[in-house]
């Protein structure tokens, strides 16, 4: 066996996104102990910078030591108790996973369905809350990466709050790519991922819990069924003050990487990051339209960081994607579930969202579509 050297790729799919060299450099620095005072200071900076990224003052804001899916589980396993009624909005793959979480925890899932490629309907959520006044939680995906649709998180949280429910929001793809204001919008429990618009490596999931969410957690009648994700225990390590108890060995170097990506985000400014994603999306959209390629999602609810486009009739899904990878080192995403073979998912997340990458993709795509016409 020899050492592994990955090919050079431009990651333009649903994640991971291109990791900036500064972040790779940070990760290559020497490992120190996860209870070293210098490391604990760095952890505090990560927490502060995550609060900035989420636009929150929530004290319980920190990265879970595992990918976005574990952030999802952290929210559900800590907040859903057996018998709890949870409204789950499903307009793509990740809503389905939320429902799976609820039922596995013994909760009762009330599903609000919307067509894949459209936003969650606030009217339907309101209706479901009227019909189910004993609902405890409303859960939805802010940016559905499987379809490219953005939902109105502000309005959905407002409705949930008016009906006395707490909310759980999936912001894995939205954080740093789309406007997101945790405190202002009344978000209670939110999770994200390191490898999408933060452009760090996969493997960490920033989460944030409001006071109301913590209240539900501390008033549980039954213990949290996951030991690893029980926030009561995790906070012994990530909590306030300098005294930290061993819970698990934190992924030290991965956290160096997240720290660096958050430093870069604060240098750019969170609002500037949102608008960069939007501007580059327009650039890509115009170029794709020139090639005769159209979007799945209506303009009003399109994600700038995940462009789901309809595969032209005369083109072969896999053939085009393989050609882009083999000839141009460009990695774009396929459709999932009912959208398999129907769409491509072009990610412009984090460090991927640059003019140079868009120009490269457009010329590669133009070339490939001409050659591959069936």
Least spacing, CB of residue 237 vs ligand PLP, in Å: 21
Least spacing, CB of residue 229 vs ligand PLP, in Å: 13
Q: Which of residues 282-301 bind ligand PLP (CB under 6 A)?
A: none
CA angle 266, 301, 148 (to 5 degrees): 75
Contact code string over 90-119 relative to ligand PLP, x by CB under 6 A? ----x-------------------------
Residue 307, φ and ψ in degrees, nearest 5: -95, 105
Contact code string over 131-160 relative to ligand PLP, x by CB under 6 A? ----------x---x---------------
Decide if residue 192 touches ligand PLP (CB under 6 A): no
Least spacing, CB of residue 94 vs ligand PLP, in Å: 4
* Of the residues 13, 63, 67, 117, which one makes contact with ligand PLP according to CB under 6 A: 67
User: H-helix or E-strand containing 363?
Assistant: helix 355-372
Instruction: Give the single-character DSSP code of 354.
Output: S
Count the residues of the shown chain that bind ligand PLP, applying the rule CB under 6 A: 13
Closest CA relative to residue 276, chosen from 343, 358, 350: 350
Q: CA-to-CA distance for 328 and 308, rounded, in angstroms?
A: 20
> With respect to ligand PLP, which residue has the nearer C-beta, 254 or 323?
254
Strands 135-141 and 343-347: unpaired
Least spacing, CB of residue 370 vs ligand PLP, in Å: 32
Decide if residue 353 touches ligand PLP (CB under 6 A): no
Quick one: angle between helices 252-268 and 37-54, nearest 10?
40
Sort residue 242 into left (φ over 0), alpha (ψ -120 to 50) or beta.
alpha
> With respect to ligand PLP, which residue has the nearer C-beta, 145 or 273?
145
* Of the residues 52, 55, 108, 202, which one makes contact with ligand PLP according to CB under 6 A: 202
Scanning 42-50, 119-127, 167-175, 297-305 for contacts with ligand PLP by CB under 6 A, the matching segment is: 167-175
Decide if residue 349 touches ligand PLP (CB under 6 A): no
Scanning 67-75, 104-112, 276-284, 361-369 for contacts with ligand PLP by CB under 6 A, the matching segment is: 67-75
* Of the residues 193, 304, 333, 350, which one makes contact with ligand PLP according to CB under 6 A: 193
Scanning 42-50, 169-177, 316-324, 329-337 for contacts with ligand PLP by CB under 6 A, the matching segment is: 169-177
Query: Which residue is closest to ligand PLP by CB?
Result: 68
Q: CA-to-CA distance for 282 and 374, rounded, in angstroms?
A: 29
Decide if residue 334 touches ligand PLP (CB under 6 A): no
Decide if residue 177 touches ligand PLP (CB under 6 A): no
Decide if residue 172 touches ligand PLP (CB under 6 A): yes
Q: CA-to-CA distance for 204 and 62, rounded, in angstroms?
A: 10
> With respect to ligand PLP, which residue has the nearer C-beta, 56 or 173?
173
Closest CA relative to residue 254, chosen from 48, 56, 73, 46: 46
Q: Which of residues 247-286 bind ligand PLP (CB under 6 A)?
A: none
Closest CA relative to residue 191, chosen from 208, 174, 177, 179: 208
Least spacing, CB of residue 178 vs ligand PLP, in Å: 12
Sheet containing strand 205-209, edge to edge, reads 60-64, 205-209, 189-191, 166-170, 135-141, 85-90, 108-113
Q: CA-to-CA distance for 235 and 64, rounded, in angstroms?
A: 10
The dihedral built from the CA positions of residue 114, 120, 126 and 129, taken in this order, carries a sign that is positive
Q: CA-to-CA distance for 372 and 320, rounded, in angstroms?
A: 7
Token code pair at residue 220: 């549980």
* Of the residues 32, 40, 44, 69, which one makes contact with ligand PLP according to CB under 6 A: 69
Instruction: Let me know how long the chain is.
Output: 374
Radius of gyration in angstroms for the set of CA atoms belonging to the chain, rounded to a whole number: 21
Instruction: Give the single-character DSSP code of 31.
Output: P
> With respect to ligand PLP, which residue has the nearer C-beta, 88 or 141?
141
**Contact positions toward ligand PLP, by CB under 6 A?**
15, 67-69, 72, 94, 141, 145, 170, 172-173, 193, 202
């Amino acid at each position: 066996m020899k050492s592994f050297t990955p090919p050079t790729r431009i990651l333009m799919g649903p994640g991971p996104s291109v990791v900036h060299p500064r972040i790779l450099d940070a990760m290559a620095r020497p490992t120190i102990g996860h209870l070293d005072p210098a490391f604990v200071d760095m952890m505090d900076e990560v927490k502060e910078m995550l609060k900035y990224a989420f636009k929150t003052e929530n004290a319980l804001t920190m990265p879970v030591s595992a990918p976005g899916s574990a952030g999802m589980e952290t929210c559900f396993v800590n907040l859903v108790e057996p018998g709890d009624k949870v409204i789950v909005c499903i307009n793509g793959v990740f809503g389905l996973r939320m429902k799976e979480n609820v039922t596995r925890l013994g909760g009762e899932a009330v599903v609000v369905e919307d067509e894949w490629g459209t936003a969650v309907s606030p009217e339907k959520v309101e209706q479901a809350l009227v019909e189910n006044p004993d609902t405890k939680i409303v859960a939805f995906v802010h940016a559905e990466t499987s379809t490219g649709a953005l939902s109105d998180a502000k309005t959905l949280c407002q409705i949930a709050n008016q009906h006395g429910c707490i909310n759980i929001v999936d912001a894995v793809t939205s954080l740093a790519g789309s406007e997101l204001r945790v405190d202002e919008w009344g978000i209670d429990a939110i999770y994200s991922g390191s490898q999408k618009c933060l452009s760090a490596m996969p493997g960490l999931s920033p989460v944030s819990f409001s006071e109301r969410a913590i209240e539900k957690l501390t008033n549980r009648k039954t213990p949290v069924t996951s030991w690893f994700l029980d926030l009561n225990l995790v906070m012994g390590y990530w909590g306030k003050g300098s005294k930290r108890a061993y819970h698990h060995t934190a992924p030290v170097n991965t956290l160096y990487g997240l720290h660096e990506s958050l430093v870069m985000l604060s240098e750019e400014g969170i609002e500037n990051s949102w608008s960069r994603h939007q501007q580059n999306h327009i650039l890509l959209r115009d170029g794709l339209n020139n090639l005769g390629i159209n979007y799945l999602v209506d303009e009003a609810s399109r994600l700038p960081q995940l462009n789901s486009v309809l595969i032209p009739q005369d083109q072969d899904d896999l053939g085009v994607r393989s050609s882009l990878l083999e000839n141009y080192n460009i990695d774009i995403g396929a459709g999932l579930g009912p959208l398999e073979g129907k769409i491509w998912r072009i990610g412009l997340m984090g460090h991927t969202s640059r003019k140079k990458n868009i120009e490269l993709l457009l010329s590669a795509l133009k070339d490939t579509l001409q050659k591959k016409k069936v």
